[in-house]
Structure 1
Amino acid sequence: MAEQQQFYLLLGNLMSPDNGIRKQSEETYDGIPGQNKVTFLLQAVRDATGTEEVKQMAAVLLRRLLSSSFEEIYPGLTVEMQTAVKTELLASIQTEASPNIRKKVCDIAAELSRNLVGDDGNNQWPELLKFLFDSVISALLQTMEDQTNPRVQAHAAAALINFTEDCPKSLLVPYLESLVQHLHVIMVAKLQELIQKGTKLVLEQVVTSIASVADTAEEKFVPYYDLFMPSLKHIVENAVQKELRLLRGKTIECISLIGLAVGKEKFMPDASAVMQLLLKTQTDFNDLEDDDPQISYMISAWARMCKILGKEFQQYLPVVMGPLMKTASIKPEVALLDTQDMENISEDDGWEFVNLGDQQSFGIKTAGLEEKATACQMLVCYAKELKEGFVEYTEQVVKLMCCPLTPPVRVRVAAAESMPLLLECARVRGPDYLTQMWHFMCDALIKSIGTEPDSDVLSEIMHAFAKCVELMGDGCLNTEHFEELGGILKGKLEEHFKNQELRQGEDPYHAYKEKVLPWFEQLMPLIVQLICPSRPWADRQWGLCIFDDVVEHCSPTSFKYADLFLRPMLQSLVDASPEVRQAGAYGVGVMAQYGGESYRPFCTEAIALLVGAIQAAESRSKENVNATENCISAVGKVMRFRPECANVTEILPHWLAWLPLNEDKEEAAHTFDFLCDLIESNNPIVLGPDNSNLPKIFLIIAEGVANESVKSEDACSKRLANVVRQVQTSGGLWTQCISSLNEAQTKALQSLLSSA
């Protein structure tokens, strides 16, 4: 206590107008150990008897200490003291009477929380997040209800939008009831205000807030659907004046997002009326001005309606496609400018510039480009959702997407993504039409691979090209294509080793198998360099992925390259980088499945390494989970395709305990296929004595369906459904299996039974 009183005197002296006293006090303060400073300062901030000046000084010094010396001081505190610091700060925020002190305590909490979020995004102060949810949300809602300050209301609504857009669903749901009830009250009040006074600013933001909440809450928004939909439809029907077009556009967006959130079953009774409203707006589309804000909202809303209605949406394409193609075809104004020209044009005029050197810049006018990018993404959505139902439009869309690439990045990514989807759409017209379309695409894709300046976009283009080749199959590339592509990729790899910026993409092994190997061997020395232990983890990851493809699609011929990659691949299973471990684990899996007899010793050696990686501490953490799930899948593939390489009796119970896989959907499908094999063969280890493992198996299946690791179109879904149906005939066992499931898991099983 005496030490604390002396510290109060010291804080007072630090504010002394006497330079000598202040300097001596600063020297004394600097000599206090950091951990002691934290204790004294926190007590000073929390002391209800202290003067405001002393408390303010203590708060400022504590924040400065956490900002400048966090790594030196905080880890040295005991766990009890760290907990006390966090608890005391949250308590002070809630109980401190002085607004100035409370604000400074909030600054301290913000500084501490910033330091307690790791590089991996792991939050070491979850109590603060809960506190913010309990008080940020309520504070925003209270501010939104401040009828005397509409502009403040609008800002509060905008803050709520930002908050809910990035908020995890699991964290939002507990507050959903209070949140939507407040939003409904505010919406009704502001709708009346619009009718009576014509004011719309707050209503625009509230409508977007509702959309954001529904988008995050998804199916949890179903109970509140009827609370909002009538009013939202009323706005769209009646907000037809020019000054209300932004409100109308945002309301259209809100309706479509709510429909997507609650699903087709709940939305269908309103779907017809909503579609008629959209159609009426679309019919008047040609009368809208080019900068009408409804345009972009309409384009996105149609795409959401397509996702909701599925194949039933095809009937609306003749109405939708004209304006959509018009927007997607916007040609940006570009110019090559010298320094003198640049002086007459500014970025405020809607121009963006890229310096080309030699006193020249490339300029592009950005007006309309955002709408163009959105429209291109919507075309991708239609092709993906409607497949053969989109065939009438494939030719014009291909011609649009294959035009010379232009900014922004989203347009180029959408163009690449659309190519394999459009080929799938065109299949219905037969091989000649499909081949003709591919020839048109192929040269454009190869040219884009050679000229794309953005490495992320380049990866998307190469991925799309590989998917197209896989879809078209053997014979779709001629010698000239291989030579051009080989030269481009060789140049990319050589450039990569010079600047370490580009990343190698995928190659068309799947379609061409061993035929591609002579071309591949030209690149071999460069690819082997990628997997050297001294290379960065991203290099090693991509190098291993390339060899994974070679093993998967060119086995058993691939074994002739084994000396070049097998040892690095096995070593990768204990690599510090989860990305490298994932690539290595996938490689072991394809060795077991496709590699042939020659790979058997390496599969045997890999088992212990895979099990070690799975059982390691933190193996299921966010950064490690994908690598771990690939290891689990690889162990399953070895037991399934190379059982002689593993002690199946010993490993199988562990493998079952590791299921299900929730993150890597592709590998999850492999594990469920193997699980079906084991169940259908009445494997005694998997089923357990007297079928005692069936409740665990039911849990695995239910979790797989709930997490969409098992989908109705998957081959194993019918097999899993049959397992469930067989147990249904045994009353006691069925009750035992079902009783261990929660509501969501039970619904998932019902969904499996109804769809498979």
Structure 2
Amino acid sequence: MAAVLLRNPHARRRLPVAASLLPTQSSLKSTMLSCIQREEAKSISKKICDTVSELASGILPENGWPELLPFVFQCVSSDSSKLQESAIYTASLQCLSSNSVSSDVKIASLNAVISFVQCLSNSTERDRFQDVLPAMIRTLTESLNNGNEATAQEALELFIELAGTEPRFLRRQLIDVVGSMLQIAEAESLEESTRHLAIEFLVTLAEARERAPGMVRKLPQFIDRLFAVLMKMLEDIEDDPAWYSAETEDEDAGETNNYSMGQECLDRLAIALGGNTIVPVAYQQFSAYLVASEWQKHHASVIALAQIAEGCSKVMIKNLEQVVSMILSQFQSPHPRVRWSAISDWSVCSRAAMDDIQNPRVQAHAASAVLNFSENCTPEILTPYLDGIVSKLRATASKSINGKQMVQEGALTALASVADSSQEHFQKYYDVVMPYLKTILMNATDKSKRMLRAKSMECISLVGMAVGKDKFRDDARQVMEVLMSLQGSEMEADDPITSYMLQAWARLCKCLGQDFIPYMDVVMPPLLQSAQLKPDVTITSADSEDEAEDSDDESMETIILGDKRIGIKTSVLEEKATACNMLCCYVAPTLVPLLKFYFHEEVRRAAVSAMPELMRSAKLAIEQGKSQGHDLSYLKQLSDYIIPAMLEALHKEPDTEICVSMLEAINECLQISGNLLDRRKIRSIVDEVKQERANAEDFDAEEGELIKEENEQEEEIFDQVGEILGTLVKTFKSSFLPFFDELSSYLTPMWVSGWIKQPKKDAICIFDDVAEQCRDAPLSKDVHSLNLCTLYYDTYLPFVLEACNDESPEVRQAAVYGLGVCAEFGDLFSSLLLEALSRLNVVIQQPNARQSENAMAYDNAVSAVGKICQFHRDSIDASQVLPAWLNCLPLSNDVIEAKVVHEQLCSMVERQDVDLLGPNNQYLPKILTVFAEVLTKKDVVTEETAGRMINIIRQLQQTLPPSALASVWSTLNPEQQHALQSMLST
């Protein structure tokens, strides 16, 4: 209290403490230093340090306290952490608060404080330095007020480091800190670098959600002001004539540092904060920008929309009509740059821009947008647009033969993608497209057209695969002759044709099948040679003077590892990755070690994808008698080599996306090897599953929405782990139950409401597999298996029942399917039968139950009711339940369940089920209507069931009175009547 009383009155009146204490100064100084050494209470020690700093600021410049600095150094060197902390706190506060200290000293003090805060082990210790924060901010603002931006930039860099490592340290004074940074970011009079650093601080703070979740979202006006600053930066773009001509690949012509900063930070901010936070702010600001007259504002809006799309996609898709309207309006912009940006945003509209001959770059970008669109399309979605797309691409490329090569290459790449996505539907365009593609392949021989020729190879091979061998065979011979000629010629090391040709050979092999065998002697040697390429690596010092020169070399990728800079020739790695993707036979010793090839992720990815193909090839060769004497023991040796190697690589893999691919590949390998797997291998797989689940134990429910929006790869890991467990259960059935028992404690938490939908769905699917595949356990003489099975039903069935009404359609589908499985195979299900029917009825009776997102759950619920009717008829009122079930038919979304249900219906009619037909056959018209609909949709009924349905209708024609049959017939629509007449007449 004495320290507070001594300091505060003088501080409030802005009077130096030292000036008013001259008579007692010597005694006071000694007492203060002694108190610092003796005081144990941290709160009191801090107040004493505050007073020492205040006193020192007045007398140190006049050398009035010579004992202080030696005392501080003594404390810093002490073994007492309390004294070390007190010394640093006192010194830093004095330096940062003093007007007589130079800016260099203040920056050094700021650096010291931030470094020390980062070193402290817990928040309680860090909070002792909270009172230094205002002085830290004053160091920054005073530098700016004095026009010393270089010092301010140093301070900003230190604050950025603090925001990234210890954001919680800023929490108590977050509004003031963020407010100061926003003022700097908004001050257009300051240097670009200064404003960029302030923005970097704010974005870094937003990205630090793992250390401070939700902190910045709660700040008033933070998002609005920062988003406005970034939008303003996107306006800073020059109307560079070089951009229009598309003479070079430089798409960034005219873009300023401000523009690039705005783009990058919008992308990061959207990913960090998610769509629920960003989209409302974005739409509000877009509205104001799009009514402005300046083209830069329109351009900024469209670019910003593209930048936030990754982080906000789930929310934006809910407002798709608004997004589409905004983009479409910009297709009519008088400025080419705005049109170019609009094409980036919406690939579906890109065909309208391919006529923009006056602006080749817009044409090329339109072709690129078609590529992006078609890559994610099913043939059913793409086919209605093929006439327009193919004709535009063909016309665009033709007009560019003597013009811009960039446009022609883009058109070829897009055409290849369209062919790949549309498959057999592309046959209609083959005769128009293929002659043109062969012309390029044979005539584009200049060095300047190497990439164009490579693109033609890619397009030809993908078109060939799409239309099939019969259509492609004659042209394939000519193409193969050209490729063989190129294979035998000497090509330069950087020739892109090498990589494209490797891929073309593989596609042609897949397309032509046995007809490709004569070419194997030509293809295989260079393919193996490429797969075994050694990485071209150079190692230099991290601070080598050649850094700038290396960074400009686009063929080199640089990695800093400790004090070394590792340069890797990427073209070599890309060729290696391509070759690995092409090889599937005799290459296990080459590819398995590449699962841990950490120089290049594409090599690892290719090696992963090859593992199941290797095993599949070996199994097929054994089954078809082409394995040169090898039997199943060879397949077991191969699986014993591959699966453990993949598990080991999975444990060390740093890339989440590759982890997903590895889990998927492991599952395929397990399906191929089947019960060749021994208990030791099963044990290693189970242990790895435990590890993957343990990695998710730190899930934060507050972050659930962000994980749902942004971390879909993590959900895919859960999905693939569930698939692996399902495969093991299906393969080993009840003998896997002891292993499953070990995993149950890891799976149970995934059922609770706080978990995101994917883990919950996966947990239910695993239970479904156990219920379906281990149905022999209750009949088993193995008491342990019987007890485990009973335990699982008792434990998990209540969760399954509750999940039937989950808000997620995927979870509901898994749950209602599980009830169907239990109804069919579960002898322990009877006690929950009525509750199960009630839950299923809720799913079926929902007003929007048949909408696309709910349709799969609906079909599975109807199927489950059918199984209850079939296997538990004595426990229900069938006269009520069966007509209600019939009224839900036919099913059309889940074709697997649809076939099961329609076969059930057929069997009931064949045995003249009284409850189904109803009194006086009153439900027969409905049954015939279902038959008619099912028979006109071949994919929802097996051929065998369809034949039985037709026989039933023929029998009814013979047995029913004509008036009754006419009455039934009148309930069918003309299309159904015609379809049935046609089937009955054959």
TM range (shorter): 0.5 to 0.7
Give the residue type in structure 2 aligned to 1:562: Y
**Distance in 2, Cα, partners of 1:341 & 1:742:** 82
Q: Is the 8 A contact 1:419 1:464 kept in 2?
A: no
TM-score of the superposition, structure 2-length normalised? 0.53
Aligned to 1:660: 892
Q: Deviations over 1:635-674 (max 9, x none)?
A: 44444555556645234313423x1125xx6555645654
Structure 1 residue 536 displacement after superposition? 3.9
Aligned to 1:580: 811
**Distance in 1, Cα, partners of 2:558 & 2:298:** 44
Residue of structure 1 aligned with 2:486, choices 259, 274, 284: 284
2:250 corresponds to 1:250 = no
Q: Is the 8 A contact 2:805 2:812 kept in 1?
A: yes
Structure 1 residue 284 displacement after superposition? 3.3
Q: Deviations over 1:411-453 (max 9, x none)?
A: 2541454355345424424323322322222332332343334
3-state secondary structure, aligned to 1:291: coil
Structure 1 residue 495 displacement after superposition? 3.3
Q: Deviations over 1:493-516 (max 9, x none)?
A: 333314676644422222222222
Structure 1 residue 524 displacement after superposition? 2.6
> Bigger shift: 441-450 or 717-726?
717-726
Q: CA separation of 1:70/1:468 partners in 2, compared to 1, >3 Å: closer, same or farther?
A: closer
Structure 1: gaps spanning 5 or more residues: 1-66, 76-84, 381-392, 711-715
Q: CA separation of 1:681/1:226 partners in 2, compared to 1, >3 Å: closer, same or farther?
A: farther
Q: CA separation of 1:643/1:416 partners in 2, compared to 1, >3 Å: closer, same or farther?
A: farther
Superposed, 1:295-444 pairs within 5 Å as: 295-305=498-508, 308-309=511-512, 317=520, 319-332=522-535, 339-340=542-543, 344=547, 346=551, 350=555, 366-379=570-583, 393=585, 395-397=586-588, 400-401=591-592, 403-406=594-597, 407-408=601-602, 410-418=605-613, 421-428=616-623, 429=627, 430-444=631-645
**Distance in 2, Cα, partners of 1:642 & 1:279:** 67
**Distance in 2, Cα, partners of 1:420 & 1:173:** 36
**Distance in 2, Cα, partners of 1:548 & 1:190:** 57
Residue of structure 2 aligned with 1:128, choices 312, 318, 325: 325
2:684 corresponds to 1:487 = no
Give the residue type in structure 2 aligned to 1:472: S
**Distance in 2, Cα, partners of 1:735 & 1:250:** 59
**Distance in 2, Cα, partners of 1:172 & 1:469:** 35
Give the residue type in structure 2 aligned to 1:128: S
Structure 1 residue 571 displacement after superposition? 0.8
Residue of structure 2 aligned with 1:594, choices 825, 838, 844: 825
Q: Is the 8 A contact 2:611 2:669 kept in 1?
A: no
2:731 corresponds to 1:529 = no
**Distance in 2, Cα, partners of 1:411 & 1:260:** 21
3-state secondary structure, aligned to 1:598: coil
Give the residue type in structure 1 aligned to 2:798: R
Q: Is the 8 A contact 1:214 1:258 kept in 2?
A: yes
Structure 1 residue 613 displacement after superposition? 1.9
**Distance in 2, Cα, partners of 1:688 & 1:318:** 71
> Bigger shift: 215-224 or 562-571?
215-224
Structure 1 residue 268 displacement after superposition? 2.4
2:430 corresponds to 1:225 = yes
3-state secondary structure, aligned to 1:237: helix
Residue of structure 2 aligned with 1:268, choices 459, 470, 475: 470
Structure 1 residue 282 displacement after superposition? 3.8
Give the residue type in structure 2 aligned to 1:203: Q
Give the residue type in structure 1 aligned to 2:571: A
Identity of aligned residues (%): 29
Q: Is the 8 A contact 2:351 2:392 kept in 1?
A: yes
Structure 1 residue 698 displacement after superposition? 4.9
Q: Is the 8 A contact 2:772 2:822 kept in 1?
A: yes
Q: Is the 8 A contact 1:470 1:510 kept in 2?
A: no
3-state secondary structure, aligned to 1:292: coil
> Bigger shift: 333-342 or 305-314?
333-342
Q: Is the 8 A contact 1:420 1:467 kept in 2?
A: no
Structure 1 residue 281 displacement after superposition? 0.3
Superposed, 1:688-707 pairs within 5 Å as: 693-694=927-928, 696-700=930-934, 702-703=936-937, 705=939
Q: Is the 8 A contact 1:327 1:372 kept in 2?
A: yes
Q: CA separation of 1:303/1:542 partners in 2, compared to 1, >3 Å: closer, same or farther?
A: same
Q: Is the 8 A contact 2:348 2:373 kept in 1?
A: no
Residue of structure 2 aligned with 1:520, choices 740, 752, 759: 740
How many residues are paired up?
630
**Distance in 2, Cα, partners of 1:279 & 1:632:** 58
3-state secondary structure, aligned to 2:596: coil
Q: Is the 8 A contact 2:817 2:860 kept in 1?
A: yes
2:408 corresponds to 1:203 = yes
TM-score of the superposition, structure 1-length normalised? 0.67
Q: Is the 8 A contact 2:583 2:610 kept in 1?
A: no
2:646 corresponds to 1:445 = yes
2:813 corresponds to 1:611 = no
Q: Is the 8 A contact 2:556 2:569 kept in 1?
A: yes
**Distance in 2, Cα, partners of 1:228 & 1:588:** 53
**Distance in 2, Cα, partners of 1:517 & 1:138:** 50
Q: Deviations over 1:250-308 (max 9, x none)?
A: 222223333444x33xx624423224413540453253444332334334444444554
Higher relative contact order (CA 8 A, sep 6+): 1
**Distance in 1, Cα, partners of 2:433 & 2:901:** 43
**Distance in 2, Cα, partners of 1:735 & 1:474:** 56
**Distance in 2, Cα, partners of 1:377 & 1:469:** 21
**Distance in 1, Cα, partners of 2:278 & 2:691:** 47
Aligned to 1:476: 677
Structure 1 residue 486 displacement after superposition? 3.8
Q: CA separation of 1:633/1:138 partners in 2, compared to 1, >3 Å: closer, same or farther?
A: closer
Q: Is the 8 A contact 1:372 1:411 kept in 2?
A: no
**Distance in 2, Cα, partners of 1:445 & 1:427:** 23
Q: Is the 8 A contact 1:419 1:441 kept in 2?
A: no
**Distance in 2, Cα, partners of 1:644 & 1:322:** 69
Q: Deviations over 1:163-203 (max 9, x none)?
A: 55557767765554444444444444444x38xxxx64433
Q: Is the 8 A contact 1:423 1:468 kept in 2?
A: no
**Distance in 2, Cα, partners of 1:697 & 1:309:** 41
Give the residue type in structure 1 aligned to 2:315: D
Structure 1 residue 376 displacement after superposition? 4.2
Q: CA separation of 1:112/1:522 partners in 2, compared to 1, >3 Å: closer, same or farther?
A: closer
Superposed, 1:80-229 pairs within 5 Å as: 100=293, 119=315, 121-125=317-321, 128=325, 144-145=354-355, 150=360, 153-162=363-372, 164-165=374-375, 176-191=386-401, 193=402, 200-229=405-434
Give the residue type in structure 2 aligned to 1:650: P
Q: CA separation of 1:481/1:297 partners in 2, compared to 1, >3 Å: closer, same or farther?
A: same
Structure 2: gaps spanning 5 or more residues: 1-275, 333-342, 701-713, 779-785, 959-965
**Distance in 2, Cα, partners of 1:304 & 1:735:** 54
Q: Is the 8 A contact 1:402 1:441 kept in 2?
A: no
